[in-house]
Structure 1
Amino acid sequence: MFRIFAALAIALASTLPAAALERFTFPSIDGGTIDSAEWEGRPVLVVNTASRCAFTPQYDALQALYDRYRDRGLIVLAVPSNDFRQELSSDEAVKDYCEMTFGLDLPMTTITSVRGEAAHPFYRWLAEAEGVEPGWNFHKVLIGPDGALAGSWGSVTEPLSSAITGPIEAMLRPARG
């Protein structure tokens, strides 16, 4: 009897929809607030970043991805974090470095914790509801237009790889022609 109940519970759990994104706000590195309510109906790639990491050159690809798809609805959000001790000492230093070195104009938060008890509520939601926690800088998380987790990739997966662009393209608004 227990085996039947356990099998039924597993089968039901596997058919449940992913947890929908709660509403979160982030302080913007430009001042003001970044509100996840503005993401509704749009795919969002959220990436925890750092300025002094071997993966920092991925900023170029993140900007290229944003440039390629922003007119079709994609949001790319950079979340600078010092959780792995590779971020600059201030928000201003991060902003200046990213603008001057990579020409970034994609949305960016202030320096934010992404792991453990001090993690931003978005990252706590990812860990608790989805079992996803960044293992290093430049971990990428794709939130679908429905607010559900649509993908998660580690640092070594390049932002312009088909592993990431494929799912994004499937979620975008049609190109204007």
Structure 2
Amino acid sequence: MVRLLFAALFSLSVGGVHADEPVSSSCPAFLDHELRKLHSRDNVNLCNMAAGKPMLVVNTASRCGYTGQFEGLEALHRKYQDRGLVVVGFASDDFRQEADTEAEAARVCYKNFGVTFTMIAPGPVTGSDANPVFQHVSGQSQPPRWNFFKYVLDRDGRVVEAFPSRVEPDDPTLVRAVESVL
């Protein structure tokens, strides 16, 4: 690790890598935060599970007309997890359609739809209070306009493409975007 850090610093000092280019062994700052898992006391630092991996980031709600998309998101997770894809759902009540309790939201995700990908406890995904992940993706693309807005990120944390709520997880354009970052 020390050698890797020294090599990265040396490269920066001699112009081999520009300061604004990601160093592959580092974690992007937007992932380096402790986030509480849905209906749990456990936290997750996305650096530990997603640094250097492609991601599909989605804001979710358990009482929305698009809630059925959990099934398709889980199918994408299962299909591509062995190829490195990390799917992360962020429960949010920004659009007033989240369950009244985390227990109810967890029941919808885990029991009704069999979600096994990481779900983050409810929090803001829009505006100045948005969590760091959504501040990052919104800054590169656009903020979510509704629940189940989807962002495909490459291994360096760059937004490759964003998809509105109406685009289902099995839509060929979304699948192509996911496959392009694997």
TM-score by length of 1: 0.80
Task: Give identity over the alignment, percent.
Answer: 31
- Letter paired with 1:27: R
> How do 1:81-96 residues align onto structure 2 when only pairs under 5 Å count?
81-96=92-107
**Separation in 1, partners of 2:21, 2:100:** 35
> Which of 29, 39, 46 is matched with 1:22 structurally?
29
Alignment partner, residue 65 of structure 2: 54
Deviation at 1:66, TM superposition (A): 0.5
Change (3 A) 1:145 1:139: same
> Which of 153, 156, 165 is matched with 2:166 structurally?
156
2:81 aligned with 1:70, yes or no?
yes
User: Is the 2:140–2:158 Cα contact (8 Å) retained in structure 1?
Assistant: no
2:179 aligned with 1:169, yes or no?
yes
Count of residues in Structure 1 that have an aligned counterpart in Structure 2: 154
Greater shift, 75-84 or 18-27, is seen at 18-27
**Separation in 1, partners of 2:54, 2:110:** 24
**Separation in 2, partners of 1:35, 1:167:** 25
User: Is the 2:30–2:132 Cα contact (8 Å) retained in structure 1?
Assistant: no
- Letter paired with 1:132: Q
More relative contact order, 1 or 2 (CA 8 Å, 6+ apart): 1
1:74-133 deviation line (CA, Å, top 9, x unaligned): 111111100100000222221122112111111000011111122112222233x31410
**Separation in 2, partners of 1:34, 1:104:** 17
Greater shift, 78-87 or 91-100, is seen at 91-100
Long gaps (5+) in structure 1? 1-17, 173-177
- Letter paired with 2:181: M
> Which of 32, 37, 55 is matched with 2:42 structurally?
32
TM-score by length of 2: 0.78
SS state at 1:23 partner: helix
> How do 1:87-126 residues align onto structure 2 when only pairs under 5 Å count?
87-126=98-137
**Separation in 1, partners of 2:71, 2:178:** 18
> How do 1:132-143 residues align onto structure 2 when only pairs under 5 Å count?
132-143=142-153
**Separation in 1, partners of 2:168, 2:82:** 21
Greater shift, 29-38 or 115-124, is seen at 29-38
